[in-house]
Structures are given as structure tokens and as C-alpha cells.
């Protein structure tokens, strides 16, 4: 069912992307120099759809890297918690191995 839902959602989206690329084939001039000089290495011609797709992909990559760095403290806390859990489990096993089985607290009061 999930596979069919993916096809239903992503097939129209893929068709729109292809349609966008076909419609926007005209060449545009892209200048990377913020000061507007005419250095040939900082200016290139490319189809409009390629420019848009490249900058979308670049934005997604930069956003992913920023998110990964911002979530570093959560990954560190998870590693520390897992380490502490492993230590506590080992200590619990050591204590249970050295002591008799625990009984109900009502049995101790008698």
C-alpha cells in the first residue's frame, strides 16, 4: 500500500519537474561576481531549468549540512545515554549474579 501511495504522490511531481525542464530550456547568463565585473570565469551560460535545479540541490545540501551540525548535541546526548544504559545494565547483571533472587517485600516483613 505504501509503495502505491508513493507512486501516486511522486509520479505527478516527477511529471511536473520534467514539464518545467522542457518549458524552460532557454539559455540564461549566470554571473557569480557580486561586484559585476566582466571576468569571464565568473559568468556562464546555462539552461534556466539547470540553473534552478542546481541551486535547489545546492540549497538542500547546505540546509542538510547545517541541520546535521545543529543536531550534534542531540546525537552526543544519545551516545552518552546509551553508554550510561550499557553501564547500568552491566552493573545490574553483576549485582543480580552475586545476590539471591529478590522476594516480595511482604515476605521480608514477616
Residues 6+ apart with CB under 8 A from 27: 45, 46, 47, 48
Domain boundaries, the chain: 2-97
- pLDDT tens digits for 3-28? 888 888 889 988 998 898 889 889 99
User: Which three cell numbers, joined as nine digits, stand for 92?
Assistant: 545490574
- pLDDT tens digits for 58-94? 999 999 999 999 999 999 999 999 999 999 999 999 9
Amino acid at each position: 500500500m505504501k509503495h502505491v501511495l508513493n507512486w501516486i504522490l511522486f509520479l505527478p511531481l516527477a511529471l511536473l519537474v520534467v514539464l518545467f525542464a522542457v518549458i524552460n530550456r532557454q539559455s540564461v547568463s549566470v554571473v557569480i561576481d557580486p561586484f559585476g565585473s566582466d571576468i569571464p570565469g565568473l559568468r556562464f551560460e546555462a539552461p534556466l531549468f539547470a540553473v534552478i535545479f542546481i541551486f535547489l540541490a545546492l540549497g538542500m545540501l547546505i540546509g542538510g549540512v547545517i541541520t546535521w551540525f545543529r543536531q550534534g548535541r542531540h546525537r552526543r546526548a544519545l551516545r552518552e545515554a546509551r553508554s550510561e544504559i550499557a553501564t547500568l545494565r552491566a552493573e545490574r547483571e553483576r549485582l543480580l549474579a552475586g545476590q539471591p533472587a529478590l522476594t516480595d517485600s511482604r515476605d521480608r516483613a514477616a
